Amino acid sequence: MITSYHVHSNYSDGESTVLEIVSAAAEQGLDEIGISDHLVYPKPGRHVSWSMSVDRLGSYFEELHNVQRVVGDRIKVRLGLECDYEPETVVLLADLLQRYPLDYTIGSVHFLGNFPIDESPEHWDNLKEEDRNNIVRGYWQRIRELAESRLFNIVGHMDLYKKFGWRPSIDLEAEISEALDAISAAGMVVEVNTAGLTKPAREIYPSKKILEMSQARDIPLIITADAHKASGLTDGYQIAKDLLDSLGYSRNVIFSSRTPKMLSGI
């Protein structure tokens, strides 16, 4: 069973249309394809160029349904979104999401307050070491809150702050443990996101250590590519699979109507 559940189309910041992505997935022999365009709930005074706007959600889901009809039973199309968890907007986001026929949601943290975690290395370069460490500590508290909100199925690229190659110089094991305890209690899945391999981080999100901590809590894992074009749906897949093999992990998970279903074997 091969799936690709973290995929961006041109409804947000991807290059390809939904039909191009789904057709490519079917040609490559994937069993399921999930489209998960960005939805950052709007806040006054902030424009997020890479997010779909709320008023396009209706046509987004309509298009996913239409493309499923076009490809028929060649491949199963799953309806997803990658949404930002922010405490100020979570109630409004929850109200919005329950109006749509989602199979799953990816919850991510791209902002801590107004600080963009993964936008550009300059944002990090301009900070003192202590301030960077504090941002990462706050990031893990935010991941814990994300899980406690019970609004998401998959937690996205869990140590995204390493994207530009920098890593915290303080011990955050307690904060990470608390976040993972909340993820486990919420019945969420952790993604093994290969996008970090081609960034200065040169590593899958999250690190092997965090994956081991997830496994100790029996949290299900899912390999994703965070693809932004139809040709990248399984980028890094074998590297991720080798990593999971080395951890002795051999399960898979699919989603329907926001309910995970565990399968044996990757």
Q: Which residues bind Zn ion (CB under 5 A)?
A: 82, 108, 226
- Cα→Cα distances 253→13, 134, 175, Å: 26, 34, 26
36 versus 68: smaller Cβ distance to Zn ion: 36
The CB-of-257 to Zn ion minimum distance in angstroms stands at 22
Helix spans in the chain (H)? 18-27, 57-71, 90-97, 121-125, 129-148, 173-185, 208-216, 237-246
The CB-of-51 to Zn ion minimum distance in angstroms stands at 10
| 59 within 8 A of 29, measured Cβ to Cβ | no
Neighbour-count burial for 75-86, b at 16+ CB within 10 Å, e otherwise: bbbbbbbbbbbb
The CB-of-135 to Zn ion minimum distance in angstroms stands at 17
| 199 within 8 A of 163, measured Cβ to Cβ | yes
23 versus 224: smaller Cβ distance to Zn ion: 224
103 versus 226: smaller Cβ distance to Zn ion: 226
Q: Which residues pair with 153 in a beta bridge?
A: none
39 versus 75: smaller Cβ distance to Zn ion: 39
| Rounded (10°) CA dihedral 16, 24, 105, 59 | 50
The CB-of-199 to Zn ion minimum distance in angstroms stands at 12
In angstroms, rounded to a whole number, what is the distance separating the alpha carbons of residues 252 and 236? Answer: 17
Q: Which residues pair with 120 in a beta bridge?
A: none
Backbone angles phi, psi at 188, to 5 degrees: -90, 165
| 189 within 8 A of 220, measured Cβ to Cβ | yes
The CB-of-55 to Zn ion minimum distance in angstroms stands at 21
The CB-of-59 to Zn ion minimum distance in angstroms stands at 20
The CB-of-87 to Zn ion minimum distance in angstroms stands at 18
Strand duo 111-112 + 104-108: pairing: unpaired
The CB-of-102 to Zn ion minimum distance in angstroms stands at 16
8 versus 76: smaller Cβ distance to Zn ion: 8
30 versus 83: smaller Cβ distance to Zn ion: 83
What are the tokens at 117?
Answer: 């975690």
51 versus 214: smaller Cβ distance to Zn ion: 51
Strand duo 259-264 + 251-256: pairing: antiparallel
74 versus 229: smaller Cβ distance to Zn ion: 229
